[in-house]
Amino acid sequence: MPTLIQKGTTYFAQKGSYFEGNVRVDGDFVVPPRTHFWGRLTISGSLELGPRSSVALDITCGSAVIGSQCRIKGPLTASGDVAILDHASVHSVRAGGRVILRPGVIVGDVTSQGEIVVHGKIKSGNLIGKSMKVLGD
């Protein structure tokens, strides 16, 4: 497994890394663009997944920002907020907080304990939240 760089409670993956097994991080995890995970990702804090990265299985985390053009083939479960940026593809989302879906996102079912905010056109399954906002075209 590639080395993670730790600064306080935040861990950073090195640029150009790929991870073959499951990855567990006790803290926050910042992932640079084009980083690939062939297993499961379990993060106790927040996850920032860089653009064009991929995760082969599921993600469990405190909160998440999924970069543009990422591919997550399994479900994403977060205890807090989730933002999925432009043209990312995510199997499904279950969030304890607010979910933001940016233009071009492809996602399965989304369940949120908070509001779901949709910016522009997306492709999705069922969207279930406390409230719903659709902004833009």
Q: Which residues of 84-117 are buried (b: 16+ CB within 10 A; e: fewer)?
A: bbbbbbbbbbbbbebbbbbbbbebeebbbebebb
The whole-chain average pLDDT of the chain stands at 96
Q: What is the pLDDT of residue 31?
A: 97
The alpha carbon of residue 123 and the mean position of all alpha carbons in its chain are separated, in whole angstroms, by 16
Q: Is the pLDDT of residue 53 over 90?
A: yes
- The CA distance from 27 to 51, in Å, is 21
Residue 67: predicted pLDDT = 98
Biggest distance spanned by C-alpha atoms of the chain: 43
Mean pLDDT of 73-97: 98
- % of residues, the chain, pLDDT over 90: 95
**pLDDT of res. 37:** 97
Answer whether residue 74 shows pLDDT above 70.
yes
Contacts for 7 with CB less than 8 Å, ≥ 6 apart: none
| Domain limits for position 125 | 4-135
Number of domains into which the chain is organized: 1
- Asked whether the predicted pLDDT for residue 16 surpasses 90, the reply is no
Its pTM stands at: 0.95
